[in-house]
């Protein structure tokens, strides 16, 4: 069977016929995917009926992808691969929406390594095994079909023509839809966007829509109008420099906002008292139920996530490639040391790779912590953070900026009734028992996190250096809550508050001052209260907050800083990646010896994540004896072998390694 290159009209007609068949099949496939996305046959059918243009356009997208199969001799096999891919995405989204509110986007594919690290929290071991077996069976079946399938005659000219026409039509359709408003282009609320626009269109948009689009008026004149005020503001001389701690608390908000819920005792007495006595207000965050890293990004950088692509995590895109102005860089100008602390794995959201591009000097993840304890779901308990924050404050001579992120109240929340919970929750309807059980579990985890806040405040009150703490929730929890069930009717609002161990002196007598903010405005506001203005975005937010073109100018400024000509910096990015230290107290190796046929390695600050490496190769049998000793059974090195200690995640991803020592018999 020979391929033909010269354009064949009959073959072109054949491909058009197959395209029509693929189009109708795509509509049926979209119907199935929407049923899965909405966990309802009726809702899926209703969406297809109510949104004919979106369905027809989404079917065009799938048909264009299917047309690629015309370029291959084993056309049916490639067609089957695409079908399996689309169904896999639909099923994955179906499963994911049981655990979080945010649907599956293209950016989530880049987070797969992080997903593997926490999969056991959301699924039982048998569910994971079943998924692996099913996936293996599907892949094997497709591979066998591909091996046995016979090739078909193809005409490359006709195939290329059809593929080109379909992809051009899809591109033109998106452009026309954008210009006419028939297609939504900005997804401020990702769950609502998928609900309103359908899975295929939104997922496609998350592939092609990345970064910040160049503003229409990105000209020298417009930039100069924005920059003139910023450049005219000189960095303030700051005499009083307290330690500054930003505490981002997982899935945390004022539980009194939940309508109808009654608690056997006050679930968060410390936080409630702080809300009443400290300055603060509502904090609008970019996500609900998930997306911790995006709230973190907004707070650290002062950038509005709305201007990035649909469902984008900058930690997985632009910050993989380059540095970005941040709170850490700005405070380093004042002599601060910047430390990030998170009682979760160091590779989650690629923080170990991203933090050097945000100016941090040190990153302390769970792999470097001593004395961790875990809750029922396997998340590290937040009380460890008091110890780690204290270590960070005393380990350096400079003033400290600490960005600490908690994890304990993270979902998914179990649907089974807790045995002897400390706090009982009532107020749910009988038919909502599983949901009530999950919420009761969440409330008890929040109660423990609240106790950690009390411990932290008590510890810092006794600390002899002035210290300011800004605490806030990263997003509301994934408890299937609606706006009707929340006081103030917003699922995108948590709270923030500002506390000081020096009777509010550092925050200019702000006691009881309440001001609602967006997450990307928070640090500039706090800087202003402390008499600081270091940083381009700091000056912009502090000066332009009430300006009528504030948001448009912010978008232009963000584009210039990350994707444009960097005019605000004179054309050159002034921020260099830091050489980050992993762990507050560095892990060191001092010597090694052999006792009874086993290797003993001695040093400092070892943890259960420490692994001995011999000549660069990890020794999986490493046994953690204590913070100063590791042992590898039945191992005797050769003379002049190189020995080091690696810090690895639970799935053996590399974090850091000590200097090597040479073993001498």
Residue 223, in any domain of the structure: no
Same domain, 564 and 466: yes
Task: Look at residue 1 and tell me whether its pLDDT is greater than 60.
Answer: no
- Which one, of 562, 495, 504, lies nearest residue 522 by Cα? 495
Helices 9-38 and 156-180, packing angle to 10 deg: 40
Q: What are phi and psi of 559, to 5 degrees?
A: -60, -45
Residue 51, in any domain of the structure: yes
Among 69-73, 258-262, 359-363, 506-510, the minimum mean pLDDT is found in 506-510
- The pLDDT, as a whole number, for residue 209 is 79
Residue 154 CB-density burial (10 A; 0-12 exposed, 13-18 middle, 19+ buried): buried
β partners of residue 594: 599
Residue 234, in any domain of the structure: no
Among 213-222, 256-265, 622-631, the minimum mean pLDDT is found in 213-222
β partners of residue 469: 245, 499
Same domain, 384 and 486: yes
Same domain, 606 and 555: no
Torsion sign across C-alpha atoms 57, 62, 63, 68: positive
Average pLDDT over residues 650-654: 88
Task: Look at residue 544 and tell me whether its pLDDT is greater than 90.
Answer: no
Dist CA 35 CA 154 (whole Å): 36
Residue 13 CB-density burial (10 A; 0-12 exposed, 13-18 middle, 19+ buried): exposed
Residue 173, in any domain of the structure: yes
Q: How does pLDDT run across 363-385, given as a tens digit for each residue?
A: 999 999 999 999 998 999 999 99
* pLDDT confidence band for 144 (50 / 70 / 90): confident
Segments of 313-356 assigned E as strands = 337-342
Average pLDDT over residues 266-276: 96
Provide the CATH number for the domain around residue 599: 2.60.40.10
Total number of residues shown for the chain:
665
Q: How does pLDDT run across 151-172, given as a tens digit for each residue?
A: 777 788 888 999 999 999 998 9
Dist CA 565 CA 554 (whole Å): 16
Task: Look at residue 120 and tell me whether its pLDDT is greater than 60.
Answer: no
Q: How does pLDDT run across 88-99, given as a tens digit for each residue?
A: 888 888 877 776
Identify the domain containing residue 591 by its residue range. 586-662
Q: Which residue has the tokens 């290329």?
A: 160
Same domain, 198 and 325: no
Same domain, 168 and 298: no
Task: Look at residue 124 and tell me whether its pLDDT is greater than 70.
Answer: no
Q: How does pLDDT run across 277-301, given as a tens digit for each residue?
A: 999 999 999 988 878 999 999 999 9
Domains of the chain: total? 3
Same domain, 553 and 594: no
C-beta of residue 515 within 8 angstroms of C-beta of residue 525: yes
Count CA within 13 A, CB hemisphere, residue 630: 31
Average pLDDT over residues 527-533: 93
Residue 151, in any domain of the structure: yes
Same domain, 50 and 151: yes
Query: Which of 208, 229, 261 is the C-terminal boundary of a domain?
Result: 208
Dist CA 90 CA 69 (whole Å): 21
Residue 442, in any domain of the structure: yes
Provide the CATH number for the domain around residue 298: 3.40.720.10
Same domain, 305 and 384: yes
C-alpha radius of gyration, the chain, whole number: 28
Distances (CA, A) of 409 to 117, 443, 450, 535: 17, 8, 10, 33
Residue by residue, DSSP assigns 454-512 as HHHHHHHHT-SS-EEEEEEESS--SS---GGGBTTS-TTEEEEEEEESSTTGGGTS-TT
* pLDDT confidence band for 411 (50 / 70 / 90): confident
**More confidently predicted of 144 and 220:** 220
* pLDDT confidence band for 633 (50 / 70 / 90): very high
Quote the mean pLDDT of the chain.
88
Contact residues for 134 (Cβ-Cβ < 8 A; gap 6+): none
Residue 526 CB-density burial (10 A; 0-12 exposed, 13-18 middle, 19+ buried): buried
Query: Which of 544, 569, 594 is the C-terminal boundary of a domain?
Result: 569
- The pLDDT, as a whole number, for residue 185 is 72
Dist CA 253 CA 249 (whole Å): 9
Query: Which of 208, 230, 262 is the C-terminal boundary of a domain?
Result: 208
- The pLDDT, as a whole number, for residue 309 is 84
3-state secondary structure of 622: coil
Average pLDDT over residues 394-413: 93
C-beta of residue 281 within 8 angstroms of C-beta of residue 496: yes
Q: How does pLDDT run across 465-503, given as a tens digit for each residue?
A: 999 999 999 999 988 788 888 987 788 999 999 999 985
The secondary element (H helix, E strand) that includes residue 165 is helix 156-180
Same domain, 552 and 590: no
Dist CA 389 CA 455 (whole Å): 12
- The pLDDT, as a whole number, for residue 213 is 87
Residue 527, in any domain of the structure: yes
Same domain, 175 and 318: no
Same domain, 609 and 551: no
3-state secondary structure of 629: strand
Distances (CA, A) of 586 to 72, 356, 391, 645: 55, 17, 12, 12
Q: Which two tokens stand for residue 427?
A: 């107020």
Same domain, 626 and 521: no
């Amino acid at each position: 069977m020979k391929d033909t290159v010269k354009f064949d009209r009959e073959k072109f007609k054949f491909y058009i016929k197959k395209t029509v068949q693929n189009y109708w099949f795509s509509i049926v496939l979209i119907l199935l995917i929407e049923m899965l996305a909405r966990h309802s046959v009726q809702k899926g059918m209703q969406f297809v009926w109510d949104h004919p243009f979106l369905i027809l356009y989404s079917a065009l997208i799938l048909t264009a992808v299917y047309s690629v199969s015309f370029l291959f001799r084993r056309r049916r096999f490639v067609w089957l691969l695409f079908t399996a891919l689309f169904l896999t995405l639909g099923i994955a989204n179906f499963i994911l929406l049981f655990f979080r509110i945010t649907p599956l986007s293209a950016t989530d594919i880049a987070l797969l390594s992080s997903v593997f690290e926490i999969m056991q929290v959301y699924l039982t071991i048998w569910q994971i095994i079943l998924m692996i077996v099913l996936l293996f069976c599907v892949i094997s079946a497709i591979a066998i079909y591909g091996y046995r399938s016979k090739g078909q005659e193809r005409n490359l000219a006709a195939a290329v023509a059809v593929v080109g026409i379909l992809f051009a039509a899809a591109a033109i359709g998106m452009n026309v839809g954008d210009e006419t408003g028939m297609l939504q282009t900005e997804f401020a609320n990702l769950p609502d966007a998928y609900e309103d626009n359908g899975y295929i269109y939104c997922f496609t948009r998350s592939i092609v829509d990345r970064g910040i689009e160049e503003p229409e008026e990105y000209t020298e004149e417009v930039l100069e109008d924005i920059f003139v005020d910023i450049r005219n503001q000189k960095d303030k001389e700051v005499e009083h420099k307290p330690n500054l701690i930003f505490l981002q608390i997982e899935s945390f908000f004022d539980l009194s906002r939940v309508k109808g819920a009654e608690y056997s005792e006050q679930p968060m007495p410390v936080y409630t008292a702080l809300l009443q006595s400290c300055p603060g207000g509502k904090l609008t965050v970019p996500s609900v139920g998930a997306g911790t890293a995006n709230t973190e990004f907004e707070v650290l950088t002062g950038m509005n996530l709305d201007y990035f692509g649909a469902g984008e995590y900058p930690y997985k895109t632009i910050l993989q490639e380059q540095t970005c102005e941040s709170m850490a860089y700005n405070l380093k100008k004042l002599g601060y040391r910047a430390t990030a602390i998170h009682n979760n794995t160091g590779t989650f959201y690629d923080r170990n790779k991203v933090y050097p591009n945000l100016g941090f000097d040190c990153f302390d993840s769970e792999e470097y912590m001593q004395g961790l304890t875990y809750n029922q779901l396997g998340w590290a308990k937040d009380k460890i953070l008091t110890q780690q924050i204290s270590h960070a404050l005393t380990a350096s001579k400079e003033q400290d900026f600490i960005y600490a992120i908690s994890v304990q109240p993270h979902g998914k929340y179990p649907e089974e009734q807790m045995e002897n919970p400390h706090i009982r929750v009532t107020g749910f309807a009988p038919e909502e028992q599983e949901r009530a059980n999950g919420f009761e579990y969440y409330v008890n985890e929040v109660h423990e996190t609240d106790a950690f806040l009390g411990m932290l405040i008590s510890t810092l009150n006794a600390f002899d250096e002035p210290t300011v703490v800004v605490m806030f929730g990263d997003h509301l929890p994934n408890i299937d809550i609606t706006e009707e069930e929340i006081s103030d009717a917003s699922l995108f609002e948590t709270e923030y508050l500002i506390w000081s161990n020096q009777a509010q002196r550092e925050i200019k007598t702000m006691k009881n001052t309440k001001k609602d903010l967006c997450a990307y405005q928070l640090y500039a506001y706090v800087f202003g209260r402390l008499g600081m203005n270091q940083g381009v975005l700091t000056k912009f937010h502090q000066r332009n907050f009430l300006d009528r073109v504030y948001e448009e100018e912010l978008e232009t400024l963000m584009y210039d800083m990350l994707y444009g000509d960097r005019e605000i910096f004179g054309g050159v990015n002034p921020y260099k990646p830091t050489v980050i230290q992993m762990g507050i107290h560095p892990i060191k190796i001092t010597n090694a010896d052999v006792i009874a046929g086993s290797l003993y390695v001695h040093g400092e600050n070892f943890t259960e994540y420490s692994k001995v490496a011999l000549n660069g190769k990890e020794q999986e049998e490493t046994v953690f004896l204590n913070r100063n000793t590791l042992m590898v059974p039945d191992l005797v090195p050769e003379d002049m072998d190189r020995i080091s200690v690696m810090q690895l995640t639970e799935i053996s991803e590399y974090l850091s390694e000590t200097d090597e020592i040479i073993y001498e018999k």
